[in-house]
Amino acid sequence: MTATVNVYLDKQEYGKDKVRLLKVHKDTNVHRVDDLTIRCLLSGSSFTTSYTEASNKAVVATDSIKNTCYILAKSSKVVDTLELFAAELANHFLNTYGWVEGAHVTIIRHRWARMIIDGKEHNHSFWRDGDETRQTEIFIKRGPNCKGRRTIDLKSSIAGLLVLKTTGSSFEDFVRDEYTTLPEAKDRVLSTCVDATWEFNVPAVDSVNVLSTLGQIPFNTIYDSVRDVTCDIFAKDESASVQATLYKMAAKSINNWKWLERVSYALPNRHFFAVDLNYFRGTKNLQEHADVYQPVADPSGLITATVARSLSARL
């Protein structure tokens, strides 16, 4: 006989995932597009009975959540700023359904680049610019003591930025013991697929001031800047290790923007090993002679870190 165990619902979220949406901006003859994948999740104690008592009385249908994404995208003026559109969606659910305590919205923007036709950017034709995406994630929650207040957790990111440089990277003076076979490298190909995330310092605000408060932060400029810093330091740094280069990237962006609280990177090594051609008539292709490489996907090194603003430097 199975013993009875006392349990409770510890936490929950539910909603709609993978809502695909293309917004075409036709305010001028030069069209712009935002190709988005959206996730909207709701939480709150009123949803407990849907799990524990099979009651749907408080449940907003996930189909309605999907429809809300399309309706707000039609009327919104901020779809091209992911952070503001995510905040608009999250705040809508809190304002519309008084029993919703938290709204968690994630938006992924897929890259489209304008076609060059006859030497000029075309007004309304685009090509998919790789797998890199821009992303944002916001969690807006009712304040604990004041229903009109909102607490905001907000972070944005770059995902899948594939970069490579053919020199300017070394890896030497690491631990050598009975398990070590990797030779030291004075110069090597360095490649990684960048995932970078930056967290914003956003104060609690009244519900009516969520968008106006967030509107003071230049989100699109910050995104462009973090991406530019990542590429600039990657290209220019005489890298002694991925760790050292990562730290410079993160520190630079925090120092550039007062709104950033933390910057995190995940940098998996994309290995390119010089092929030993000495077996073929003594052909030299190692160390300074290397120019033919074999890409090796797995296993790969993975370097991660979070760099935070010091207490003395906060807003």
Residue 19 has pLDDT above 60, yes or no: yes
Give every CB contact of residue 210 below 8 A, 6+ residues apart in sequence.
87, 91, 140, 150, 152
Segment 183-197 shows an average pLDDT of: 94
Q: How confident is the model at residue 146 (pLDDT cuts 50, 70, 90)?
A: low
Q: pTM of the predicted model, to two decimals?
A: 0.93
How far CA 66 is from CA of 26, 303, 313, in Å, comes to 23, 37, 41
Percentage, residues of the chain above pLDDT 90: 89
Residue 304 has pLDDT above 70, yes or no: yes
How far CA 43 is from CA of 54, 94, 102, 137, in Å, comes to 16, 10, 5, 15
Catalytic sites, residue numbers: 16, 62, 271
Residue 311 has pLDDT above 80, yes or no: no
Q: How confident is the model at residue 287 (pLDDT cuts 50, 70, 90)?
A: confident
Binding site annotation covers 220? Answer: no
Residues 39-84: tens digit of each pLDDT: 999 999 999 999 999 999 999 999 999 999 999 999 999 999 999 9
Give the single-character DSSP code of 5.
-
Chain-centroid distance of CA 162 in Å reads 14
Measured distance CA(203)–CA(177) in Å, rounded: 50
Mean predicted lDDT score pLDDT of the chain? 94
Dmax over Cα atoms in the chain, in whole Å?
Answer: 79
Indicate the burial class of 4 (C-beta count within 10 angstroms; 0-12, 13-18, 19 or more).
exposed
Least confident of 70-79, 141-150, 243-252, 304-313: 141-150
pLDDT score at 297 = 83
Measured distance CA(142)–CA(71) in Å, rounded: 24
pLDDT score at 166 = 95
Question: Is there a contact between 83 and 153 (Cβ–Cβ < 8 Å)?
Answer: no
Strand, helix or coil for residue 9? coil
Strand, helix or coil for residue 200? strand
285: its two tokens: 């292709």
Measured distance CA(237)–CA(229) in Å, rounded: 11
Helix (H) or strand (E) holding 140: strand 120-142
Number of neighbouring beta carbons within 10 Å of residue 134:
21
Residue 2 has pLDDT above 60, yes or no: no
Give every CB contact of residue 190 below 8 A, 6+ residues apart in sequence.
164, 165, 168, 169, 234, 239, 242
Binding site annotation covers 242? Answer: yes
pLDDT score at 262 = 98
Binding site annotation covers 30? Answer: no
Residue 4 has pLDDT above 80, yes or no: no
Q: How confident is the model at residue 35 (pLDDT cuts 50, 70, 90)?
A: very high
Binding site annotation covers 2? Answer: no
Binding site annotation covers 263? Answer: no
Residues 191-212: tens digit of each pLDDT: 999 999 999 999 999 989 999 9
DSSP states of 71-134 as a string?
HHHHH-S-TTSHHHHHHHHHHHHHHH-TT--EEEEEEEEEEEEEEEETTEEEEEEEEEEEEEEE
Least confident of 2-16, 23-37, 164-178: 2-16
Binding site annotation covers 227? Answer: no
